[in-house]
Amino acid sequence: MYQVFDTVDEVSRYTAQRILDKITATPDAVLGFTTGSTMEPVYARLLQCLQQAPVDVSQLTTFNLDEYIGLSAEHAQSYNHYMCEHLFNQLNIPVQSVNLPDGLAKNIEDACQAYSDAIKVVGGLDLQLRGIGSNGHIGFNEPRTSFSSRTHVVQLAEQTRIDNGCFFTAQHEVPTHAITMGIQDILEAKEIILAATGRNKADIMAELFNSAMDEALPASALKQHHNLTIVLDREAANLLPRQAFEKQYPAPSASA
Ligand code: GLP
């Protein structure tokens, strides 16, 4: 199910509205959040909407997808810090309802198990927001991760470290390992939105469109999900056959 919009702004408005709709319909929803540059305008738009028309968020529970190993929550490039900066500092969600993998956990294996268990205890994720890496990773589930994986430690692919290097002052500062929710954890979400924008996502979106389900392409696991929306701007959809999205939706305006 594809939703293709002309601009990043429209992608962000649509995605933020879907999150708002979920919160309004289910005030105690369990939301799966993610990081990355794609999500920054989504969170900005969500906060803007909530400022204009406040909605009670105090009953929400959130789980983030992943975190670098070795970075404290205060580190400027940790995903914990990202989420506080872009969302949580301005949302009134009780701190005990906000969950992120702990990149400094003493016993990482136990922490991974506890993270997947905690998702199950609250009844699973109602809505999982997702981006995609240029190599098709979801969360930090790199190519060849088992589709039945639960929260686990990963060694980051070199391509991922290069892609994410721009957020660090030097390439060697990019951590080599991370904790990520597993693909099975993600697939058990009741609803998934995968958002991708920009020309640098066009190749992987075309590959995903053409690929069968294959562990070499982690995002292809999502193809078996019954409630998946893929939200793209024109640039990210640039290499998709037009009939992929125009069968279901009116053609976007020709202005792009
Ligand atoms: C990181 C995160 C992913 C995210 C990806 C895409 O690698 N671990 O969860 O989907 O970045 O990021 P961006 O939106 O910056 O392209």
Q: What is the DSSP string of 21-67?
A: HHHHH-TT-EEEE--STTHHHHHHHHHHHHHHS----TT-EEEESEE
Cα separation, 123 vs 136, in Å, equals: 28
Q: Are 177 and 156 in contact (CB under 8 A)?
A: yes
The pLDDT of residue 131 is above 90: yes
The CA 133 to ligand 1 mean position distance, Å, reads 5
Candidate list 137, 164, 191, 225, residue with the active-site label: 137
How many angstroms is it from 49 CA to the middle of ligand 1?
24
From first CA to last CA, the distance across the chain in angstroms is 21
Q: What is the pLDDT of residues 51-104, one digit of tens each?
A: 999 999 999 999 999 999 999 999 999 999 999 999 999 999 999 999 999 999
Catalytic status, residue 135:
yes
> 112 is written with which tokens?
């991974």
Write out pLDDT tens, residues 94-127: 999 999 999 999 999 999 999 999 999 999 999 9
Q: Is the pLDDT of residue 242 over 90?
A: no
What pLDDT score does 244 carry? 78
pTM (global) more than 0.85:
yes
Q: Is 80 a catalytic residue?
A: no
Residue from 81, 137, 138, 185 whose mutation best tests the ligand 1 pocket (most atoms within 8 A of CB): 137
Q: How confident is the model at residue 256 (pLDDT cuts 50, 70, 90)?
A: very low
Backbone dihedral angles phi then psi of residue 230, each to the nearest 5 degrees:
-105, 115
Choice among 16-20, 173-177, 252-256 with the minimum mean pLDDT: 252-256
pLDDT of the residue at 245: 76
Q: pLDDT for 151-198, tens place per residue? A: 999 999 999 999 999 999 999 999 999 999 999 999 999 999 999 999
Mean pLDDT computed over 187-212: 97
Whole-number Å distance between alpha carbons of 251 and 150: 39
pLDDT score at 251:
46
Q: How confident is the model at residue 255 (pLDDT cuts 50, 70, 90)?
A: very low
**Whether pLDDT at 147 is above 50:** yes
Catalytic member of 64, 80, 135, 164: 135
Distance of CA 50 to the CA centre of its chain: 20
248 pLDDT above the threshold of 70? no
193, β-bridge pairs? 129, 229
